[in-house]
Amino acid sequence: MIKLEGIMTALVTPMNEDGMVNEQELKSLIDYQIERKVGSLLILGGTGEYTSMTFEEKCQVIDISVRAAQKRVPVVAGVLDTGIGECLKFSKYCKQAGADALLVCTPYYFSSTQEALVEYYTRVDREVDMPILVYNIPSKTGVNVTPDTMVKLREKMKNLVGIKECAPIGQAIELYLKVGKKINVLTGSEFAAVALMAYGFDGAVMATANVVPDAWVKMYELVKERKINEAMELFLQYAPLFNAIFSENYIGPLKYAMNKAGISCGQAQLLPLIPSKPETRKLVDAQMSALGLTE
């Protein structure tokens, strides 16, 4: 089983002002992350704007990313579709392109039963036949994979290697008690990450690691050394910046913060996302300056 532990950066997708993918900036961003010792990279998660891209654009991003990573760290490809057809189509492309694993989101729009979710994931497992992580983010999808369903999926899926869990902390802990140490259990919550890693989670999938990968890697290392208080103190230094970034739809403020730190990724986003508000940028500016992160 592929081991996914530590910090997985949920990578932004650098774009030009016309919305086209900026290949050179994407390659540079991947190098930047790997040099800072992140454990793996998530390409085309929600942070990568998967749901706003055409199939061809997504294929381009995966191709660039796999080539740029050069097997230095695992490349996990996000698959965030409403139905099985597009999910299978893109999953098979990612396998062919050389991705190391898939992060398959629960299908959304229609309210899926737990039985339907089992059918969905087991079909992807059968037809694609490569390492799969379940992506559970009920606050965005309106669909929740319960811990008991994860137990069933582990029994039925040959290729299940983990989960990115974004459910509330109580469910996250129940999940860990039922499948922890049997699959990779990763949190997707910035604000619960240190606590859950201290509890036993294998790592965290972090959007804010785009701008402060060093800090997140250090937090993970401190937790592994059982220096929990130090890890929490470090988190609390950065929490005001994270709050500023998440004070509105976070991708705009995140890209803004990255550029302020000298991490070139462009400001452009794809509709329905729009540029961050001036007042949000002021909040980000203040916290970046306080942390000494402004270029």
Which CATH fold topology does 6-227 show? TIM Barrel (3.20.20)
Q: Determine the Cα–Cα distance for residues 58 and 36; give it in Å rounded to an integer.
A: 25
Please tell me the distance from the alpha carbon of residue 227 to that of residue 214, in angstroms, as a whole number: 17
Please state the rounded mean pLDDT for residues 79-86.
Answer: 97
50 in active site: no
Mean pLDDT of 12-27: 96
Phi-psi region of 105 (alpha: psi -120 to 50; beta: other; left: phi over 0): beta
CA distance 93 to 271: 25
Q: Residue 6 region, left (φ>0) first, then alpha (ψ -120 to 50), else beta?
A: left
- Active-site hit among 32, 135, 220, 238: 135
Nearest to 140 by CA among 205, 80, 202: 80
CA dihedral defined by 252, 257, 258, 259, rounded to 10 degrees? 90
Distance CA 132, CA 101 (A): 6
Q: What is the CA radius of gyration of the chain?
A: 18
Instruction: Give the mean model confidence (pLDDT) for residues 155-174.
Output: 98
Question: What DSSP letter does each residue of 84-144 carry, written as one string?
Answer: HHHHHHHHHHHHHHT-SEEEEEPP-SS---HHHHHHHHHHHHHHH-S-EEEEE-HHHHS--
DSSP designation for 190: T
- What local confidence, expressed as pLDDT, does residue 262 receive? 95
Residue 136 has pLDDT above 90, yes or no: yes
Active site includes 238?
A: no
Q: What is the mean pLDDT of the chain?
A: 97
What is the pLDDT, as a whole number, of residue 176? 98
**Residue whose pair of structure tokens reads 């392109």 in the numeric block:** 97
The three-state secondary structure class of 62 is helix
Where are the domains positioned within the chain?
6-227
CA distances from 202 to 8, 150, 179 (A): 11, 16, 12
Q: Indicate whether this model's pTM tops 0.85.
A: yes
Amino acid 190: pLDDT: 96
Q: What angle do CA 206, 46, 121 make, to 5 degrees?
A: 100
Q: How far is CA 113 from CA 70, 86, 91, 142, in A?
A: 39, 20, 22, 11
- At residue 273's C-alpha, the angle toward residues 295 and 258, to 5°, is 15
Indicate if the pLDDT at residue 111 is higher than 90: no
What are the tens digits of pLDDT across the range 21-60?
999 999 999 999 999 999 999 999 999 999 999 999 999 9
Percentage above 90 pLDDT, the chain: 96
Which one from 32, 164, 238, 250 is the annotated catalytic residue? Answer: 164
Let me know how many helices (H) and strands (E) the chain has, helices first: 12, 8
pLDDT exceeds cutoff 90 at 67: yes
- Burial profile 24-46: b = 16 or more Cβ within 10 angstroms, e = fewer: ebbbbbbebbbebebbbbbbbbb
pLDDT at 295 over 90: no
Reported as a single tens digit per residue, the pLDDT across 266-286 is 888 899 998 899 999 999 999
